[in-house]
Amino acid sequence: MSDFLPRFAQAFATLDKHNLHLLDSLYSKDIAFADPLHNIQGLTALQRYFADMYSNVSQLRFDFYGFDQVAEGEGYLRWKMSFCHPRLANGKVIRVEGCSHLMWRDKVYRHRDYFDVGAMLYEHLPVLGRVIIWLKRRMG
């Protein structure tokens, strides 16, 4: 198995709003990126998405702790994301665990993130947050 996943994670963890040109070294021009809230096609659109994301948060960090290659050019990264958004949780740090399914040749051409959108977003909105937390307790 290759060391692609740890190298990708290390480079990805260094991203911030000042070095998004590095996306070009991680992703192919025809990248297909998806998460529970977005479906993005192409490197230009992905760069725009990351620029918007980094401009809306005061802090964003990914801590990678799992590197599971399942086949040649395919694997999963497990991570914890920490971020601060001025309109969520009164600007306090929010932490969300997730994983990324990656497919690559020399660069990643498919990237799909899996995470709990409620834990990331909805639970931290004033009225909706209380309802989501209440529902999770009732269901759990």
What average pLDDT does range 104-113 have in this prediction?
A: 97
- pLDDT given for residue 59 in this prediction: 83
User: 5-53: per-residue pLDDT in tens?
Assistant: 999 999 999 999 899 999 999 999 999 999 988 999 999 999 999 998 8
Q: Strands, DSSP E only, in the chain?
A: 27-35, 38-41, 59-71, 74-84, 94-104, 108-115
Who wins on pLDDT, 80 or 1? 80
Domain map of the chain by residue range?
A: 3-137
CATH 3.10.450.50 is right for the domain spanning 3-137: yes
Q: Is 80 helix (H, G, I), strand (E, B) or coil?
A: strand
For residue 39, give every residue at least 6 positions away whose Cβ sits within 8 Å of its Cβ, in sequence order, or none.
33
Distance of alpha carbon 59 from alpha carbon 83, whole angstroms: 5
User: 58-89: per-residue pLDDT in tens?
Assistant: 788 999 999 999 999 999 999 998 887 776 66
Q: Is 118 helix (H, G, I), strand (E, B) or coil?
A: helix
User: 7-16: per-residue pLDDT in tens?
Assistant: 999 999 999 9
What average pLDDT does range 82-110 have in this prediction?
A: 86
Distance of alpha carbon 80 from alpha carbon 82, whole angstroms: 7
Distance of alpha carbon 120 from alpha carbon 115, whole angstroms: 8
Q: Report the Cα–Cα distance between both ends of the chain, in Å, rounded.
A: 39
